[in-house]
Amino acid sequence: MSQAPITPITLQGAAGKLAAWVAQPPADVETRGTALLVPGFTGSKEDFTDLVPMLAAAGYRTYAYDQRGQWESEGPDEVSGYTMADFVGDLQGVVDQVSPDAPLHLVGHSFGGYVSRVAVVERPARFRSFTLLASGPSSVEEINFPPPALVAQAVEAGGQEIIWQQLNAAMTMADQQPTAERLEFLHRRIMATKKANIIGILTCMTEPPLKDPSALRDSGVPLLVAYGDTNDLWAPAVHENFARELGAKTAVYRGSGHVPNEDVPAQVCADLVNFWKEQA
C-alpha cells in the first residue's frame, strides 16, 4: 500500500495550541471518512508515525495530536489543569475542528482510550466508530502498572526523569532494543512533556474512566477492542472479557505488546479499515 505524506498542523485546545498531524488520501483514492487518533500516557502523535499515512492511503483523512502538555502541545503548569474533563474537553473541541459536519472514526491508545470513551459517551452522535487500542478497563485493577498515586508522588519528587527510568526498565524487561535515535527521541519527549501533565494523568488513572462501563456499550457507537497478546499492561483475558461486556468486536496482535500501532502498524491499519468499512 502506498503512503500519504504527513502535514504538521496546529489545533486549538482550551488551554492553548495543540500540535497535530494530518494526512490526506491521495488524489486517486476515494475519501471514505475522517479518523482521529489519540495518544496515551507519555505518548504523542509520533506513536502513530506509520499508522497515519497508511490510513490516509486507504481513503481516510487521518489526524493525530499531542494532548495538552504533551510533547509539542501547550498546556498549563498546574496539575489542576489536567483533569479528565480537561482532556475530554480538548478532544471534543478537536473533533469539531477536524470534522465539523460529519461523525468520525475515533481511535484511543491506552490513556487516550480512557479520554476517548468518555467523549463517546458524552456525544455518541459525533462518532462513526470507536476503537480501544491497548486500552483496558481501568488502571485501578487487573493492570500490570504500579499504583498511579505512588508513581505520581515519585514524579512530584523526582520529575520527568523518574518516568524515563521506569520506561527504560519496562523496555528492558520486555526485551525491547530501540535504536539510539529512538531512545534519544523518547527521552527528549518525556523531558519536554510537562510535569503537571504526567502527574495529572496519573491522578486521572486512580479512578476508572467511566463509573458505569455499560454506558459505552449503550452509546450505540460500533466498538472494537484491539490489543497485543504479549507484555501489554492488561492480560489478553482482561481485554477479551472487556470486549464481551461491551459487545465489541476484537482484533488480537500475536507477539505484540502495548504498542501494536508501532509494532505491527500494517495489521492495525487493515483491521481498522475493515472495521470502518462495516460502518459505511
Query: Which tens digits make up the pLDDT trace of 130-139?
Result: 999 999 999 9
More confident residue, 220 or 165: 220
pLDDT band at 176 (very low <50, low <70, confident <90, very high): low
Share the mean pLDDT of the chain. Answer: 94
Q: Which of 199, 254, 178, 204 is nearest to 79 (CA)?
A: 199
More confident residue, 179 or 126: 126
**What residue ranges in 30-93 does DSSP mark as E strands?**
33-38, 60-65
CATH 3.40.50.620 correct for 7-277: no
Give the CA radius of gyration of the chain: 17
Domain ranges in the chain?
A: 7-277
Taking the C-alpha atoms of residue 229 and residue 264, their distance in angstroms, rounded to an integer, is 12
pLDDT at 54: 98
Is the alpha carbon torsion for 253, 256, 262, 264 positive or negative?
negative
pTM to 2 decimal places: 0.96
Tell me the range of 91-95, 149-153, 210-214 where mean pLDDT is highest.
91-95
pLDDT at 177: 72
- pLDDT tens-digit profile of 233-268? 999 999 999 999 999 999 999 999 999 999 999 999
Q: Is 118's pLDDT higher than 60?
A: yes
Taking the C-alpha atoms of residue 249 and residue 131, their distance in angstroms, rounded to an integer, is 9
pLDDT band at 174 (very low <50, low <70, confident <90, very high): low
Taking the C-alpha atoms of residue 4 and residue 204, their distance in angstroms, rounded to an integer, is 35
Q: Is 172's pLDDT higher than 70?
A: no
Taking the C-alpha atoms of residue 223 and residue 228, their distance in angstroms, rounded to an integer, is 17
Taking the C-alpha atoms of residue 220 and residue 248, their distance in angstroms, rounded to an integer, is 11
3-state helix, strand, coil in the chain (%, to 5): 45, 20, 40
Residue type, 63: Y
